[in-house]
Amino acid sequence: MKQTGYAYAFGAGTIINAIAIWKGAAFCIDLKTEAEIVLTDDKKIKGYMEEGGDTALIERCVKLTLSRFGSTSGAKVATKSEIPIASGLKSSSAAANATVLATLDALGEKLEPIEAVKIGVQAALDAKVTITGAFDDACASMLGGFVITDNKNMELISRVERDSEVLILAPEKKVFSSATNVGRSRLIGRWVELAYNEALEGNYEKAMTLNGFLYCAALGFGTEPMMAALEVGIEGVSLSGTGPAYTALGSPELLDLLEPVWRRMGGKVIRTKVINTPYLNTGTNTGARTCR
């Protein structure tokens, strides 16, 4: 057994938010969360997040992964992240994936990527940081590219690779998924189903834009960032997750036009890209906080 482990995972943007119909779609983005773990003999699991926040999720990920292999070790686990917390950019899914993979690295064990995803999803449900388990977000984070899923049955429906640049508008406000108004989200289900069907046809931009307007209406977010994107010719723009961040897919030229407009709206604007092949690297620490 190695005793120490390291891994990373990426965030994601929303195509279809799964809360309304338990079916979702997402794409992997080049914002990284790193996790480092040290196994101990005292059987206690202690987490630390450099970016702040509740450590229950990462501690539960470690516990479930150790239990999967019959280990009774304790652990110290630390994460650091480029992903704004509670913004709809899948920081929890990235943290869960990175932590599960780091624990596997420490144990010297391997799992199929989907099996590793499922551990993180269960941990997220146990820690009550998600409503549906966010299987779609976790798959995008782990597998890369564009994914479509059935979250209730934890089934990956499709995955494709496609290059695109991404622009993110992340307001300062934090919105935790667990506090989302599920009832209002379910009211728009029949229309979200239409957007989901567009995603199944490969019309990701159309799907995410429909999704964005629907969830903005249901959850009370403004549509001005989306309208600004449409005005410059962007076809794919959405509220990401349950907000408050917005994401847009487009060519460098179109994002060059949108970026200054979004900057004037306040908050943090991030220019990044879709990641199609995010993994699989473990064992090389590039800067996560050393656990002590």
Q: Is residue 285 part of a domain?
A: no
Domain match, 110 and 227 both: no
Last residue of one domain, picked from the residues 127, 160, 193: 160
Domain match, 118 and 20 both: yes
Predicted pLDDT of residue 2:
64
Predicted pLDDT of residue 163:
96
Domain match, 156 and 169 both: no
Last residue of one domain, picked from the residues 109, 134, 160: 160
Domain match, 27 and 155 both: yes
Q: What pTM does this model have?
A: 0.92
Domain match, 15 and 128 both: yes
Predicted pLDDT of residue 178:
58
Identify the CATH number of the domain in which residue 67 sits.
3.30.230.10
Residues in the chain with pLDDT values less than 50 = 281-292
Predicted pLDDT of residue 212:
98
CA distance 39 to 235: 47
Amino acid (one-letter) located at 68: R
Domain match, 172 and 66 both: no
Q: Crossing angle for the helix pair 113-126 and 91-107, nearest 10 degrees?
A: 120
What residue numbers bound the domain in which 265 lies?
Answer: 165-273
Last residue of one domain, picked from the residues 160, 189, 208: 160
Amino acid (one-letter) located at 145: G
Domain match, 14 and 40 both: yes
Amino acid (one-letter) located at 62: V
Domain match, 84 and 216 both: no
Q: Is residue 8 part of a domain?
A: yes
Residue among 29, 41, 186 nearest 93 (CA): 29
Domain match, 39 and 152 both: yes
Domain match, 263 and 118 both: no
CA distance 253 to 259: 10
Predicted pLDDT of residue 180:
65
Give the chain's domain count: 2
Q: Do β-strands 146-150 and 23-40 pair in parallel, antiparallel, or remain unpaired?
A: antiparallel
Domain match, 211 and 109 both: no
Domain match, 52 and 80 both: yes
* DSSP assignments along the chain, one per residue: --SEEEEEEEEEEEEE-TTTTSEEEEEEEEEEEEEEEEEESS--EEEEETT-S--HHHHHHHHHHHHHTT---EEEEEEEESSPTTSSS-HHHHHHHHHHHHHHHHHT----HHHHHHHHHHHHHHTT--SS--HHHHHHHHH-SEEEEETTTTEEEEEE----EEEEEE-S----GGGS-HHHHHHTHHHHHHHHHHHHTT-HHHHHHHHHHHHHHHHT---HHHHHHHHTT--EEEE-TTSS-EEEEE-HHHHHHHHHHHHTT-SEEEEEEB-S-----BS--SSPPPP-
